[in-house]
């Protein structure tokens, strides 16, 4: 078993490294790239506080998507909110002691897992049955959906059908913090689940999953509508003026 445990320990160190460094690279790239012109999609807030509120509505409620397509919104929101609950539920593996709020959220995490699967299924069906969506879908879109569905299903199976020793899993992750590698239960379902999660972490910074940080940097959403009041100029554009 030592081999498998070591392999998974390495895999998670690697995945965490790729995820963090890849995202950090992207976030630095986005924030370093200037937005030389004011391009908020109007009507837009005229104050910073309004922009914060607008962004919150986008992040929490998917406001624009709601206006755009109700079905996609329902499924997309279900999936993301489900994923959010599931993530909260999983935090118990990474924290000791487990904060009260995380204890509280445990049962909801299970509903979250179900919502996630339903949402993903709905989104996937659209890719086959709506001709426009089918047209824009590439192989990677199917693969990412498949990956997420599998992660969800293996997780739910472990909860409802083939139970695994959660205490041992927790020991494994706690050990990773101090480079003290503790044995992982040799459960095939768990192995698959963890492998898929690690894969997701690895592709995150190199795929469309970048929509998560991207949203915060989207100039049409995060700019204040005040071009007449305040002169907005990018460094490279400023250089043109000095010529």
Partner 1 sequence: MAKATFEVPELTQYTEVPAIQPGAMAHSATFKAKEEFQKDLGFPGELVDDWQSKAIDKMGELLGRYRSLQVYMDACVKCGACTDKCHYFLGTKDPKNMPVARQDLMRKVYRRYFTWGGRLFPKLVGAEDFTKEVLDDWYCYFHQCSQCRRCSVFCPYGIDTAEISMAAREIMDSIGVGQKYCNEIIGKVYKIGNNLGLPGPALIDTLEGLEEDVYDETGVKVRYPIDEEGAEVLLVTPSADFFAEPHVDGLIGYGKVFHEAGISWTMSTHASEAANFGMFIGSYENMRRVAQRIREAAIQLKVKRIVFGECGHAWRVAYSFLNTLAGPWDFLDPRYPVPQHICEFTYELIQEGKLTFDKSENDDKVLTYHDSCNVARASRMGDMPGGQFEIPRAIIRATCNHFYDMDEDTIRDRTFCCGGGGGLLTDDLMEVRVKGAKPRLDALNNVIQEKGVTHMAAICAICKTQFSKVLPYYGMEMDQILSLHQLVSNAIVLTPGPDDEEEDEDDDLDGGDLDNDNEEMGDEAA
Q: How many CB atoms lie within 10 A of CB 62?
A: 19
Min separation Cβ 44 and partner 1, Å = 6
**43: contact with partner 1 by CB under 8 A:** yes
Query: Which structure tokens are listed for 21?
Result: 């460094």
In the numeric block, the tokens 């100039």 are attached to 219
Rounded least distance, CB 122 to partner 1, Å: 12
- Out of 15, 19, 26, 78, the only residue in the binding site for partner 1 (CB under 8 A) is 26
CA–CA separation, 102 and 96 (whole Å): 11
Q: Does residue 4 interact with partner 1 by CB under 8 A? A: no
- Shortest separation between residue 75's beta carbon and partner 1, angstroms: 10
DSSP one-letter code for 161: T
Minimum separation from the CB atom of position 138 to partner 1 (A): 4
Contact between 97 and partner 1 (CB under 8 A)? Answer: no
Binding mask 133-172 for partner 1 (x = CB under 8 A): x-xxxxxxx-x-----------------------------
Residue 29 makes contact with partner 1 by CB under 8 A: yes
Task: Report the distance separating Cα 35 and Cα 37, nearest Å.
Answer: 6
Q: How far is CA 189 from CA 118, 148, 151, 158, in A?
A: 21, 15, 10, 7
């Amino acid at each position: 078993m030592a081999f498998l445990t070591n392999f998974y320990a390495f895999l998670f160190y690697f995945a965490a490294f790729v995820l963090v460094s890849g995202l950090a690279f992207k976030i630095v790239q986005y924030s370093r790239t200037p937005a030389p012109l004011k391009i908020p999609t109007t009507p837009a807030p005229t104050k910073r506080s309004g922009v914060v509120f607008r962004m919150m509505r986008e992040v929490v409620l998917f406001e624009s998507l709601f206006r755009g397509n109700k079905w996609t919104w329902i499924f997309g929101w279900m999936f993301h909110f489900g994923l959010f609950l599931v993530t909260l539920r999983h935090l118990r593996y990474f924290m000791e002691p487990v904060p009260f709020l995380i204890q509280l959220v445990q049962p909801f995490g299970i509903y979250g897992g179900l919502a996630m699967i339903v949402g993903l299924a709905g989104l996937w069906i659209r890719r086959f049955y709506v001709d426009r969506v089918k047209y824009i879908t590439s192989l990677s879109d199917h693969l990412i959906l498949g990956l997420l569905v599998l992660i969800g299903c293996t997780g739910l199976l472990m909860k409802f059908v083939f139970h695994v020793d959660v205490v041992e899993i927790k020991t494994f992750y706690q050990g990773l913090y101090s480079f003290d590698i503790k044995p992982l239960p040799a459960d095939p379902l768990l192995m698959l689940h963890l492998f898929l999660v690690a894969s997701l972490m690895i592709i995150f910074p190199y795929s469309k999953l970048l929509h998560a940080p991207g949203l915060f940097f989207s100039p049409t959403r995060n700019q204040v509508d005040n071009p007449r009041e305040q002169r907005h100029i990018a460094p490279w554009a400023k250089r043109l003026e000095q010529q």
